[in-house]
Amino acid sequence: MPESLRCCPLCRSPDAAAVSDRDREGHPNVTVLCLRCGLYRTDPMPDQAELTRFYRDLYRLEYKGVIRPKGHHVLRAARAARDRYRWLLPYLSGRRRWLDIGAGSGEFAFLMNRQGHQALALEPNRGYAGYIREALQVPVREGFLDDLGPESEKFDGISCFHVLEHHPNPVAALDRLRGLLAPSGILAVEVPNIEFPYVHPRNRFHKAHLVHFSLTSLALAAQSAGLRPLEHRTSGDGGVLWSVFEPGEVQPVRPLPGVANQAMASEKRRSAARYYGSPAVWRRAFLRLTALGTERVRALTMPAPKIYLSRLSLH
Ligand SMILES: [Zn+2]
């Protein structure tokens, strides 16, 4: 393993402390915290060939047990797509050409097109890319962000929901995304919030997530890729980070003093006992179970995904 791959992909510091040695399936998977900037990362990173094969062929299958989404997956993804559309609505006027990266089963790209935008979905998984094309009739390209070179067309808006955490080098990915934006383009990013307290300590690290962001480390990564925040916050329940960026100046990475120590202290405070002792955890579990049950029942009578999405209220 070259030494550079053992350094932090954000600030290049080699100083790191292990915070977990298992993924949420219980398999060996070491996650470290950068002691300079506070970015969490898998260590060592898997190599690129391994990653490409994983996403092209295996990821959705391993993740959900299917190659194509089932009805209840579509219902859940449609709700997420509607929430994201509502979040981004203030930015959408006049932004016609849109790229949705890591489009999954394509619900967001479908809704964008339904609302008059010209959205292209980019999805690395063959099964899902085929589903987007055939079931939703949304323009789709099967591939990765790295497949869009500098000669690619530019976009008025790019969304990447739950994508950056899968990249071994998020600054390089953000830099590439910036290169795909038109001069007045915007980039919408959603990633899991590593500081979210209501997760069992054993369930925090998924082997497909190679880096893990806080609001602070995502802001640093964006700055160092020449992106300026228009909006940068946690979602309503705090589980994910929601950011909208525009092209700006590339800034050197200057982590705030103490940011990594604070993250380390909060890691030490996490425990299963603390998790189970939190009323918010039980409240969330109840709501989640109720929503899952409702989804399963509604999925029994839902129309074809395209018809369902065509009728979905966005207001
Ligand atoms: Zn770092």
Q: How far is the CA of 172 from the centre of ligand 1 (A)?
A: 14
Closest CA to 180 of 153, 162, 159: 153
Q: Which residue has the higher pLDDT, 177 or 283?
A: 177
Instruction: Using the mean position of ligand 1's atoms as its centre, give its distance from the Cα of residue 231 in Å.
Output: 23
User: How confident is residue 61, by pLDDT bands cut at 50, 70 and 90?
Assistant: low
Distance between CA atoms of residues 213 and 40, nearest Å: 7
pLDDT of residue 119: 98
Q: Is the dihedral of CA 220, 253, 257, 33 positive or negative?
A: positive
Binned at pLDDT 50, 70 and 90, residue 60 comes out as low
What does the pLDDT read at residue 137? 97
Q: What's the distance, Cα to Cα, between the start and end of the chain in Å?
A: 51
25 alpha carbon to ligand 1 midpoint, in Å? Answer: 26
What's the pLDDT tens digit per position in 107-153? 999 999 999 999 999 998 888 999 999 999 999 999 999 898 888 89
Kind plus residue range of the DSSP H or E element containing 260 = helix 259-269
Cα–Cα distance, 232 to 129 (Å, whole number): 30
Q: Is the pLDDT of residue 312 over 90?
A: yes
In the reported structure, the alpha carbon of residue 45 is separated from the centroid of ligand 1 by a whole-number distance in angstroms of: 15
In this prediction, residue 59 carries a pLDDT of 61
156: helix, strand or coil: strand
pLDDT band at 67; cut points 50, 70, 90: low
Question: What spacing in Å lies between the alpha carbon of 123 and ligand 1's midpoint?
Answer: 29
**Token couple for 142:** 């099967």
Residues near 64 by Cβ (< 8 Å), separated by ≥ 6? 70, 73
More confident residue, 67 or 163: 163
Average pLDDT rounded to a whole number, residues 306-315 = 94
Amino acid at 186: I
Average pLDDT, the chain: 91
Pairing of the two strands 16-22 and 28-34: antiparallel
Distance 147 CA to ligand 1 centre (A): 27
Instruction: Please tell me the distance from the alpha carbon of residue 64 to that of residue 60, in angstroms, as a whole number.
Output: 6
Residue 5 is predicted with a pLDDT of 59
**How many CB atoms lie under 10 A from the CB of residue 169?**
17
- Ligand 1 centre to CA of 136 (Å) is 41
Domains of the chain: 47-258+273-311 (3.40.50.150)
Q: Identify any residues that bridge with 312 across adjacent strands, giving them in sequence order.
A: none
Which stretch, 37-46, 61-70, 110-119, has highest mean pLDDT?
Answer: 110-119
Ligand 1 centroid–CA 253 distance in Å is 9
Q: Is the pLDDT of residue 259 over 50?
A: yes
pLDDT of residue 66: 47
> From CA 228, how far away is CA 96, in angstroms rounded?
21
49 pLDDT above the threshold of 50: yes
Single-letter code of the amino acid located at 4: S
| pLDDT digits 0-9 by tens, 2-25 | 445 589 999 999 999 999 999 999
Distance 38 CA to ligand 1 centre (A): 6
CA of 12 to the centre of ligand 1 (A): 6
Output DSSP code: residue 143. S
How far is ligand 1, taken at its centre, from the CA of residue 8, in Å? 5
As given in the structure block, the two tokens for residue 137 are: 């009739």
Q: Which of 16-25, 111-120, 223-232, 294-303 has the lowest mean pLDDT?
A: 294-303
